[in-house]
Structures are given as structure tokens and as C-alpha cells.
């Protein structure tokens, strides 16, 4: 199978990959933290590729501060596009397969039907735009790639919506949560499992894929489920997006169709509530 290099290895998804790799007894993953292998540092990247000669490269590194990106456009673009291009170029020169994580934010979110990989990408935020530019850079520089667009990522690791809700639920009696944005939560452990299945099955159905858990919900209903399943007594009130203004616009509807992933990647995708229960039991 060869060496698997993981960039952004200490982040949420990187930690989930470590967890799933241990469960599957995979010992050939090398996790590189940003301090050791910043994807903007071509010299360092070149040295790591030469040292490890990876068969696969998993890129979990990204600029993900959605609102700050509106002010830090250059930094967001460097990380989400230029850094990704660096990896794509090196993967092409070393014959490595690149597995890259993208986002539902590449879509405008103005429709009401589950989004296909072939649907037009029309981001409405700098974050979404720079992630799309990263996707495009990959396609220009290598043909051996899997781009996995995901949404509403959470787990027992790092900072995320589930852990924030649990913290706030312990501190407050009442919370207001947006109800008019629809999408699907994704348990990062499930996404990590999908990534490792691609590698273990030596899949060569390269291209763009959508991966989130099954079903759809709103942030409000997601929060309600978190408190219900964790037996946290807190009153949750639904509010409109306009009542909680943010610097960056969010897609109103970003539910993704996973048919392609299920058929070509040979993965079974759990419903979001089932995965939420699993995560809460681990927390």
C-alpha cells in the first residue's frame, strides 16, 4: 500500500484518521503537523515527499475561519488554493494519489434539491471561493485525486458545533439557534473511515465526491438532537439567519447527494442521528 502522508495531521480530521487507522491496524500513516510541514513551504514539502515517497497524500490542512476569511482574503487563498496547488504538483511528480477535503460552501445554496457533484459551484463567501479555487488547482496539476466535499463536520476532537452546544448547554438555560439553513452534519470519524476505505480498496475512480452523513436537518434541529440525546436540559429557540448576522454569507440549502460516493467508493453512510449518538457516547 505504501506510505500515506497526512498534512494537517493534528486537526480534527487528522485526529479522527489516527483513531480509525488504529482501529483498522494501519501503521503506514505519517501525520505531519503544520509546524513540521506547512503546505505553503515548498522546500519543506519537497523534502517530506523525497523522504517518504508517499503512495497517498491526505490533505486535511485548510483555512476554515469562514468569517475571518472575508478580511484575510490573501491568507485564505494562500492556504486553500496555493498550498493545495503545491501538494497537487508534488503528487503528480511523485505518482502519489491526492485525497483532498473540500466543502459544501462551494455552492450558493439557493436551491431545494440535494446537490450533485456536477451542479454549478457558485460560492457566496471568500472561504467557499478559495476552497473552489483549490479544487480547480488540483484538477489542473494532477489526474490522480479524490476531492471529498463535506459539511458541518464534528467529532469528539478539536472545536466544533457539537462540543460548543454541550458547553453552552451546561452554562445557560436557553439558546437561540438558526433554523433556516438546511444541511447535513458529518461525523468526522465516518469521513475518516471513507478516506481509509478509498486507500484500502485501492480505488481508482478519481474525481470529486460528496460525503456527509445521510438525511438533512437545520442547525436548530441539530442542536435540539444534541441536547435530547445527551439529556441536557436547555430550551432551544429557533431564529432566522437575518437575526444572527455574520460577516460571511452561508448557503441556505447545502444538502449533498451521496449516490456517487456510495456506488463508486463502496462506502455505507450512516444517518446523521445515528452517528451523533455514537459521538455523544464517546464524549
Active-site annotation holder among 56, 127, 154, 187: 127
pLDDT band at 245 (very low <50, low <70, confident <90, very high): very high
When divided into structural domains, the chain yields a total of 1
User: What value does the mean pLDDT take over residues 101-116?
Assistant: 98
Q: Is position 171 within any domain?
A: no
Q: Is position 194 within any domain?
A: yes
Q: Is position 167 within any domain?
A: no
Q: Is position 92 within any domain?
A: yes
Q: Is position 195 within any domain?
A: yes
Q: What is the pLDDT of residue 72?
A: 98
Per residue in 141-189, pLDDT tens?
Answer: 999 999 999 999 999 999 999 999 999 999 999 999 999 999 999 999 9
Q: Give the CATH number of the domain where residue 76 resides.
A: 3.40.50.720
- Among 180, 185, 198, CA closest to 267: 198
Q: pTM of the predicted model, to two decimals? A: 0.98
DSSP state of 33: -
Q: Is position 265 within any domain?
A: yes
pLDDT score of 62 more than 90: yes
pLDDT score of 34 more than 90: no
Q: For residue 127, give its domain range.
A: 4-160+185-214+254-270
Respond yes or no: is residue 253 known to be catalytic. Answer: no
Q: What is the pLDDT of residue 1?
A: 78
Q: Is position 227 within any domain?
A: no
pLDDT band at 15 (very low <50, low <70, confident <90, very high): very high
Q: How is 41-89 classified by DSSP, letter by letter?
A: -HHHHHHHHHHH--SEEEE------TTGGGT-HHHHHIIIIIHHHHHHH
Q: Is position 23 within any domain?
A: yes
Amino acid at each position: 500500500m505504501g506510505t500515506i502522508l497526512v498534512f494537517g495531521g493534528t486537526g480534527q480530521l487528522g485526529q479522527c484518521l489516527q483513531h480509525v487507522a488504529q482501529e483498522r491496524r494501519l501503521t503506514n500513516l505519517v501525520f505531519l503537523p503544520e509546524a513540521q510541514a506547512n503546505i505553503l513551504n515548498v522546500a519543506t514539502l519537497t523534502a517530506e515527499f523525497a523522504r517518504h515517497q508517499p503512495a497517498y497524500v491526505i490533505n486535511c490542512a485548510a483555512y476554515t475561519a469562514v468569517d475571518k476569511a472575508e478580511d484575510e482574503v490573501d491568507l485564505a487563498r494562500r492556504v486553500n488554493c496555493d498550498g493545495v496547488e503545491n501538494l497537487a504538483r508534488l503528487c503528480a511528480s511523485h505518482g502519489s494519489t491526492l485525497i483532498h477535503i473540500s466543502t459544501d460552501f462551494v455552492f450558493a445554496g439557493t436551491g431545494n434539491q440535494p446537490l450533485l457533484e456536477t451542479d454549478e459551484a457558485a460560492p457566496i463567501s471568500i472561504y467557499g471561493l478559495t476552497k473552489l479555487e483549490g479544487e480547480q488547482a488540483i484538477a489542473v496539476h494532477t489526474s490522480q485525486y479524490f476531492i471529498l466535499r463535506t459539511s458541518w463536520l464534528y467529532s469528539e476532537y478539536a472545536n466544533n458545533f457539537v462540543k460548543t452546544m454541550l458547553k453552552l448547554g451546561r452554562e445557560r438555560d436557553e439558546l437561540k439557534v438558526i433554523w433556516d439553513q438546511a444541511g447535513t452534519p458529518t461525523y468526522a470519524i465516518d469521513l475518516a473511515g471513507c478516506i481509509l476505505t478509498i486507500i484500502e480498496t485501492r480505488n481508482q475512480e478519481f474525481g470529486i465526491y460528496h460525503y456527509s452523513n445521510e438525511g438533512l436537518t437545520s442547525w436548530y434541529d441539530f442542536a435540539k438532537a444534541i441536547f435530547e440525546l445527551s439529556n441536557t436540559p436547555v430550551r432551544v429557540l429557533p431564529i432566522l439567519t437575518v437575526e444572527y448576522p455574520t460577516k460571511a454569507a452561508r448557503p441556505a440549502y447545502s444538502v449533498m447527494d451521496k449516490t456517487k460516493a456510495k456506488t463508486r467508493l463502496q462506502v455505507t453512510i450512516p444517518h446523521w442521528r445515528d452517528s451523533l449518538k455514537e459521538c455523544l457516547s464517546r464524549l
